[in-house]
A and B are shown apart, each in its own frame.
Chain A
Amino acid sequence: MSSPTSVRTDDPPAVVLTGITKRFPGVVANSDVHLTVRRGEVHALCGENGAGKSTLMKILYGMQAPDEGTIEVNGEQVRFRTPSDAIKAGIGMVHQHFMLADNLTVQENVVLGAEALHGIGQKARKRIIELSGKTGLNVDPGVLVEQLGVADRQRVEILKVLYRGAKVIILDEPTAVLVPQEVNELFDTVRGMQEQGYTFLFISHKLDEVRAIADSVTVIRRGTTVGSADPKTVSSRQLAEMMVGSELPSPETRESTVTDTVVLDVKGLKLLTPDGSRPILDDVDLVVRSGEVVGVAGVEGNGQTELVETIMGMRKAGSGTITLQDKDLTKLGTLARREAGIGYIPEDRHRHGLLLTQPLWYNRILGYQTRKPTAKGVWLDIDGAKQDTERIVTDFDVRTPGIDVPAAALSGGNQQKLVVGRELSGEPVLLIASHPTRGVDVGAQALIWDEIKRARAAGLAVLLISADLDELIGLSDTIKVMLRGRLVADADPNTVTPEDLGSAMTGAGSTSAAVQETAVVEEGEN
């Protein structure tokens, strides 16, 4: 798959990192990291969430200064104080969270910071159009970035890097937002550019992708590099063991616990954009039963977030009904829906799950401010909240010195365990879990999966949204595919592959018997 012929071993390496150490308050993000990237290769950097990959790349890109260690580019030692220094040395970075200004045009975004090359006018425009082809971008440079889709935005990011003449390109988790087909297109682009002499540093924790694209692999664990491997000979399993020191947890559920009791019944749900011009949710029908995990697959931006927020009452549906255990929720607010028995793990715990500067016990009250054990009538029950927080800390293995520390002081995995623990309190009948293990370490991931499985076995109905197709296939009893605001297909998690799901998610049509397209209206369930 890779093209080793383009890797030149006689030249000095493109990038050498030696003994890099970086400390933050309370954590050492990188400790004595060593990394050598040869010119013209695709070098993968693997490690689980929180292992320190992103910090390392920020150091290489000049966004953060290392406390110790040296950086060499093309055999010369360099010191980067700002990204400009890195850019001058020929290093470019495509960030995981796109660094684009929505309200500026593609051209403005590309030339920003590199105006000295071709100005900001017609010359720059010509150059951008020339380079667009390499990235597969096919839009006018005068278009506002807000009008672009995810894949095109990524192409703009690559274009930015090319425009600056970068020879070494860092791709930070580039596939996280893409479906398998788009990943393939990206890899084609990468291979094409590799033949023209570009060097890539590919950051990922998806081992199949690493093996498909990389010429060599370096593994990072707990902030330090633990070894290198040849992707052509190493197995995913061996890589995984290098990454986490043991076997990766698997989301597989065993026997079915699905019952006939309908818990959540969504009928004909519609949601329009704020200006009313376009439907975000279009006639969605959905049933979740007691003991069942229903997974929703979809490319980001196809309405999954909105579906969850509409069921939670955070967005107001245009039409349709939402019923929970024969209780009509349609006209109720978020709090009443929570009181009716919905637990909610939001996709972004910082924005929607936690009050970051408040202590853990104060966070326990959020969403439960009207119920025991955290409230009595209009009064808060502070003692009750503290006691129950202690229980969650113990039961869910939240690593914290105490319940009086602010939530912000915990690591992402521990924050998420706190959220999961809280949302499984108060005897919910339905759990809505949006990307429940996004950005958490392997230990927390395994615990969260176990808790979801246990609650499911106890009869909980679960609506699971995830971009991690392995997680979705492993945990779900039923999978629905969401595309442009509609549930367009059903998949059987026992037989479906991520590739099948991917093509259904992009609307390329089903390629497998495991995915059944559902007709647009009514026929959806069963």
Chain B
Amino acid sequence: MITTMEEKPHVPAAPRKRKVPGWAVAMIGVAGAIALLSITSMQTGFPQLTSSGTTQTAVRLMLPILLAGLGGLWAERAGVVNIGLEGMMIMGTWGAAWAGYQWGPWAALVAAVVFGSLGGLLHAIATVTFGVNHIVSGVAINLLGAGLTKYLSTLLFQPLSNNPRQSPPVQPFDTYSAAGLADWLGELEAGQRLFISDVAGILRGLVTGVSPLMLLTILLVPLSYYLLWRTRFGLRLRSVGENPHAADSLGVKVYFHKYVAVIVSGGLAGLGGAALVLNPGQLSYLEGQTGGRGFIGLAAMIFGNWRPGGLLGGAALFGYADGLQLRSGGETVLALVYGVVLLLGVIVVWQLIRRKWFSAAAAIVVAVLLYLLYISLDEIPGEFVSYAPHMVTLAVLAVASQRLRMPAADGLVYRRG
């Protein structure tokens, strides 16, 4: 009978109870990741997995991805898909090199932000004012960014460096290390004790050779969170990405917020370009140097479910895989596969507890396949290791794309009226 049926589907639910706050989840995640790496490095005999050298390289490689990802976050939270991050990043590399060889690293940062922002401005004009499809505009900006920098470097760099594809060397930032702390951590790391040595190695990597850019970038993550989620400006910006019509009806300046978001997005991507140019290994503009990192940044953002914390995790993961390969080669990366098998083992147990039989079975199958891969190979071919982020992204999207939540009006062209 009608009166005895289950409760209304639309019953206003009680406020969602998050048993564990976000920062605690993050801490647990970090601790879990370190524990996983620690066990993996012990089982496979590759201490490089958690060495300070690997960590240091990983952080440097993470910066451009993180900055591009933050750029993507800003734009997409305001509802503009930014495939043009790559082009804006390229413009940033050129700007950084151009200002950097003349006036030093700080000028490089400023110029990179300015050049990237110009790319963002162009994207905003096309997508917001003229209502061009976001993907189309992004692709065009990638073409334009690459073309513009090629032209400008032939024009301005070639006379100085005798190479149209490279700028004169750029002066790097001074780096700082917490010397006493690093030495003490170094002793711990050398001790080869499970977990303690691993943590020490990672921390030592984090406190050695720190550049101002590194600090700035890391600070930009909480800063972005604060601005986007804890201020009135951020609320308006996000509302524009969720429902621009509603925002407009309440007097929120939709176009203005989209413009700001996309310009900031370009500036962050440009800064990511500067991070590439100012990387101690390169210290100059080099044609093709971004190598798709703008796209990887976007992937990191998706990996992080359009949240700053998740994005940091994604960028760290991708930077780590890259750094590991660069420092220690394909066989160490193979050890990571072992780590993934361990992780899947944990997931299987978790899914079994939650009685999700299908997920558990799928995880078991994948784990077995990966384990077979691990024992049958000697190393992961270097050609593929650089593309680990791509594979991880595809895997994440395939497994979790239904659970990811992008802003509701993301990628939609908004017209007033």
Residues of A within 8 A of B246 (CB): 98-101, 109, 112
Q: Is the CB of B2 within 8 A of A489?
A: yes
Q: Is the CB of A152 within 8 A of B408?
A: no
Considering the complex, give the chain A residue whose CB is closest to the CB of B231: A120
Once A95-B249, A115-B235 are accepted as A-B contacts, the answer to whether A102 and B408 lie under 8 Å apart by CB is yes
Q: Is the CB of A99 within 8 A of B243?
A: yes
Q: Is the CB of A112 within 8 A of B236?
A: yes
List B218-262 residues whose CB lies under 8 Å from chain A. 230-232, 235-236, 238-239, 242-243, 245-253
Q: Is the CB of A484 within 8 A of B8?
A: yes
Distance in angstroms from B114 CB to nearest chain A CB is 30
Stretch from A139-147, A249-257, A374-382 forming part of the interface with B:
A139-147
Q: Which of A116, A147, A488 contacts B12 (CB 8 A)?
A: A147
Q: Is B24 an interface residue (CB 8 A)?
A: no
Once A87-B251, A101-B246 are accepted as A-B contacts, the answer to whether A149 and B232 lie under 8 Å apart by CB is no
Q: Is the CB of B15 within 8 A of A120?
A: no
Contact count band on B = 35 or more
Q: Which of A138, A147, A483 contacts B2 (CB 8 A)?
A: A483
Bound-state Cα–Cα, A101 to B405, Å:
14
Q: Is the CB of A140 within 8 A of B252?
A: no
Interface residue tally for chain A (C-beta within 8 Å): 54
Distance in angstroms from B404 CB to nearest chain A CB is 12
Q: Is the CB of A139 within 8 A of B12?
A: yes
Q: Is the CB of B242 within 8 A of A103?
A: yes
Bound-state Cα–Cα, A85 to B253, Å:
12
Residues of A within 8 A of B408 (CB): 101-103
Residues of B within 8 A of A152 (CB): 10, 12
Q: Is the CB of B15 within 8 A of A63?
A: no
Q: Is A312 an interface residue (CB 8 A)?
A: no
Q: Which of B2, B15, B235, B249 contacts A111 (CB 8 A)?
A: B235
Binary flags per residue of A65-109, CB closer than 8 Å to B gives 1, else 0: 000000000000000001111010000010100111111100011
Bound-state Cα–Cα, A134 to B47, Å:
65
Q: Is the CB of B2 within 8 A of A517?
A: yes
Bound-state Cα–Cα, A89 to B66, Å:
45
Once A82-B251, A83-B249, A112-B250 are accepted as A-B contacts, the answer to whether A149 and B10 lie under 8 Å apart by CB is yes
Q: Is A519 an interface residue (CB 8 A)?
A: yes
Q: Is the CB of B9 within 8 A of A99?
A: no
Considering the complex, give the chain B residue whose CB is closest to the CB of A138: B12
Residues of A within 8 A of B253 (CB): 82
Q: Which of A61, A108, A139, A301 contacts B235 (CB 8 A)?
A: A108
Q: Is A160 an interface residue (CB 8 A)?
A: yes
Bound-state Cα–Cα, A381 to B341, Å:
58
Q: Is B417 an interface residue (CB 8 A)?
A: yes
Q: Which of A102, A113, A150, A484 contacts B6 (CB 8 A)?
A: A484
Q: Is the CB of A160 within 8 A of B405?
A: no
Q: Is A509 an interface residue (CB 8 A)?
A: yes
Q: Is the CB of A84 within 8 A of B2?
A: no
Bound-state Cα–Cα, A115 to B12, Å:
25
Q: Is A123 an interface residue (CB 8 A)?
A: no
28 contacts between A and B (CB under 8 A): A61-B249, A63-B249, A95-B249, A98-B246, A99-B246, A101-B239, A101-B246, A101-B247, A103-B407, A108-B235, A111-B235, A112-B246, A113-B250, A113-B252, A114-B250, A120-B232, A120-B235, A142-B15, A143-B15, A144-B16, A147-B12, A149-B9, A301-B10, A484-B8, A509-B3, A517-B1, A517-B2, A519-B1
Scoring A140, A278, A489 by chain B CB atoms within 10 A of each residue's CB, the highest score goes to A140
Q: Which of A147, A160, A517 contacts B250 (CB 8 A)?
A: A160
Q: Is B376 an interface residue (CB 8 A)?
A: no
Q: Is A274 an interface residue (CB 8 A)?
A: yes
Binary flags per residue of B63-77, CB closer than 8 Å to A gives 1, else 0: 000000000000000
Q: Is B13 an interface residue (CB 8 A)?
A: yes
Q: Is A507 an interface residue (CB 8 A)?
A: yes
Q: Is A148 an interface residue (CB 8 A)?
A: yes
Bound-state Cα–Cα, A301 to B11, Å:
13
Q: Is the CB of B402 within 8 A of A112?
A: no
Q: Is A405 an interface residue (CB 8 A)?
A: no
Considering the complex, give the chain A residue whose CB is closest to the CB of B417: A64
Q: Is A520 an interface residue (CB 8 A)?
A: yes
Q: Is B25 an interface residue (CB 8 A)?
A: no
Q: Is the CB of A93 within 8 A of B5?
A: no
Considering the complex, give the chain A residue whose CB is closest to the CB of B13: A147
Q: Which of B1, B13, B248, B407 contacts A83 (CB 8 A)?
A: B248
Once A103-B408, A517-B2 are accepted as A-B contacts, the answer to whether A112 and B239 lie under 8 Å apart by CB is yes
Bound-state Cα–Cα, A301 to B14, Å:
21
Residues of B within 8 A of A275 (CB): 402
Q: Which of A61, A101, A489 contacts B242 (CB 8 A)?
A: A101
Binary flags per residue of A349-392, CB closer than 8 Å to B gives 1, else 0: 00000000000000000000000000000000000000000000
Residues of A within 8 A of B242 (CB): 101-104
Q: Which of A115, A142, A301, A517 contacts B232 (CB 8 A)?
A: A115
Residues of A within 8 A of B249 (CB): 61, 63, 83, 93, 95, 99
Distance in angstroms from A337 CB to nearest chain B CB is 27
Residues of A within 8 A of B231 (CB): 120
Bound-state Cα–Cα, A83 to B14, Å:
33
Bound-state Cα–Cα, A143 to B14, Å:
7
List A121-147 residues whose CB lies under 8 Å from chain B. 138-140, 142-144, 147
